[in-house]
Amino acid sequence: MLPFRTLISIDKSAEASIYLQLAEQLRRLIGDGILKTGQKLPGTRQLAELLQLHRKTIIAAYDELLAEGWLESRAGSGTFVADPLPLVRPQTLGKEIDGQRTHREPGFPFESKPHLVRPLLLMGEGLRLDDGFPDIRLAPMEELARAYRSYFRWGNPQQHFGYGDPKGNRLLREELSVFLNETRALRTTADNILISRGSMMGIHLASTLLLKPGQTAVVGETNWSGANMNFQQAGAELLTVPVDQHGLDVEALAELCQRRPVRLVYVTPHHHYPTTVTLPPDRRLRLLQLSQQHGFVILEDDYDYEFHYLRRPVLPLASADPNGMVIYIGSLSKSVAPAFRIGYVVASETVIDELARLRRIIDRQGDAMLEFAIGQLFRNGDMRRHLKKAHQTYLSRCNYFCSLLTSALAGSLQFVKPDGGLAVWAKFDPQIELAQLAQKAKVEGLTFSDGLAHNPPGKALNSTRLGFASSTETELEQSVAILRKLVKG
């Protein structure tokens, strides 16, 4: 008989059940060939005595291995190592190429979509002038933690932890309705709002609902690639119109509408992405007129409305839309922190109902706890206090950053101080190769975008977004010092 007491070691203080430890070690002895196929195992009483374990533990371990096919029971004879063994040879997930299996390539074809390829924006270590992220150090974490705890203490557990409305938590939708009506002059109820996981989901759902293959979606010549990807994924033909120092050229859009039918126009009128300029009132009115005249939907992405610095924010297109042609999309990810995936879509009730049906087939419901917690922050005033504090901080950082750029990098880049938002649109001197500069800066501990993602097809803007909001004034000083060192020598 094998020396089972030596071969098997049971740790009674371990978290794993004793019978599972025994089963795993017997399985390993079989796999290593120490226990041979067809070999008879000791009876349950005998093995229990050998290992100083309860017989029921041995029975449970044997039953586990019998169920898995490692052992077999022969009536009147005992328990034996199975023959054949249920061994599965580990394989990689790819197909065989030149006699070797690869993790990378599958055995079936599929179409890779080039429009989905774009660099990820990550918040890494060190200094950064990012795309325009908020400073997560300002986020109301303690207030949010209290709101989370209240979720577990209040209400019906079945309601809290069961399935909810695909439109989102009712409390948050009600509070958002009040907030949007007061700050943006919208006229909504909770039934006009769908909570999404960030603005990207809202754009995806709207694209799926509104666009059919071959229909035309129009965006600015410079535009957020995340929106472009969604329109292309829906099968739309993506056309562009120029963007100037005042934003989208609506007269160029009018000419385009004369030539062909347009289904959707995507705009970021408050702070055009990426250039940060604000669409003036006359263009806004003209855009609404064109929408009514030609029947296209306006998808208005108001991703950082809260942060406008020079004057009272210009009201959204949706607030001046008498004909229901605007779908309004916003996000709290820029207001709190990117990890908190809370966005919203505002539209007529019938549109929201249909968007909720679409959302249900890709994401049954959102994060009920997070949505409740954010709703609580709105209800008790913590969110408004946070937004006010963040606004003051980002305004101060915007002023300081722009003064640093002017004093330290004069002649090396051009920019217009933004009316709002969390980034500066900077155009570098043609003698400066922006992609190379970004690589050199990374070696020095500073990360920023090389701007290539903002280039329209066939054009090199040599421009990028330099985000200031996520950095303190000291960090901004250090970042600009690195830029100055690299471009001035």
Query: Is 363 among the domain residues?
Result: yes
Are the CB atoms for 486 and 441 separated by under 8 Å? yes
Query: Is 158 among the domain residues?
Result: yes
Query: Is 425 among the domain residues?
Result: yes
**Does one domain contain both 373 and 396?**
no
Are the CB atoms for 400 and 471 separated by under 8 Å? no
What is the C-alpha separation between 360 and 354, in angstroms, rounded?
10
**Does one domain contain both 463 and 322?**
no
| CATH number of residue 13's parent domain | 1.10.10.10
pLDDT on residue 123: 63
| CATH number of residue 427's parent domain | 3.90.1150.10
pLDDT on residue 458: 85
Query: Is 251 among the domain residues?
Result: yes
**Does one domain contain both 338 and 235?**
yes
What is the C-alpha separation between 394 and 127, in angstroms, rounded?
17
**Does one domain contain both 392 and 344?**
no
Query: Is 54 among the domain residues?
Result: yes
476 contacts: CB under 8 Å, gap ≥ 6: 397, 400, 401, 404, 468
Place of tokens 């993602």: 453
**Does one domain contain both 410 and 445?**
yes
What is the C-alpha separation between 307 and 329, in angstroms, rounded?
16
**Does one domain contain both 216 and 338?**
yes
**Does one domain contain both 439 and 375?**
no
**Does one domain contain both 378 and 400?**
no
- The conformation of residue 410, written as its DSSP 8-state character, comes to B
pLDDT on residue 6: 87
What is the residue range of 371's domain? 140-382
What is the C-alpha separation between 289 and 293, in angstroms, rounded?
6
Place of tokens 């070690």: 25
3-state secondary structure of 69: coil
Instruction: At 236, list the tokens.
Output: 């739309």
Residue 192, judged by CB atoms within 10 A of its CB (0-12, 13-18, 19+), counts as buried
**Strand ranges across the sheet with 237-241:** 193-196, 343-346, 326-331, 297-301, 264-267, 216-220, 237-241
**Does one domain contain both 393 and 357?**
no
pLDDT in tens, the chain (489 residues): 678 888 899 998 888 899 999 999 999 999 888 999 999 999 999 999 999 999 999 999 999 999 989 999 998 899 999 988 886 555 556 666 665 656 667 777 778 888 777 776 666 678 999 989 999 899 888 888 888 788 777 666 666 667 788 999 999 999 999 999 999 999 999 999 999 998 999 999 999 999 999 999 999 999 999 999 999 999 999 999 999 999 999 999 999 999 999 999 999 999 999 999 999 999 999 999 999 999 999 999 998 888 888 777 789 999 999 899 999 999 988 888 887 889 999 999 999 999 999 999 988 887 888 898 899 999 999 999 999 999 999 999 999 999 999 999 998 999 999 999 999 999 999 999 999 999 999 999 999 999 998 998 888 999 999 999 999 999 999 999 999 999 987
Query: Is 89 among the domain residues?
Result: no
Query: Is 107 among the domain residues?
Result: no
Q: Where among 330, 351, 382 does a domain terminate?
A: 382
pLDDT on residue 338: 80
pLDDT on residue 282: 94
- The conformation of residue 464, written as its DSSP 8-state character, comes to E
Which residues share a beta bridge with 300?
267, 328
**Does one domain contain both 284 and 266?**
yes
- C-alpha separations of 104 from 94, 100, 109, 384 in Å: 6, 12, 13, 48
0.95 exceeded by pTM: no
Instruction: Name the CA dihedral angle for 455, 459, 463, 465, rounded to a multiple of 10 degrees.
Output: -20
| CATH number of residue 233's parent domain | 3.40.640.10
Query: Is 94 among the domain residues?
Result: no
Q: Where among 382, 410, 433 does a domain terminate?
A: 382
**Does one domain contain both 154 and 55?**
no
Max Cα–Cα distance, the chain, nearest Å? 94
Domain count, the chain: 3
479 contacts: CB under 8 Å, gap ≥ 6: 127, 128, 129, 446, 471
**Does one domain contain both 398 and 376?**
no
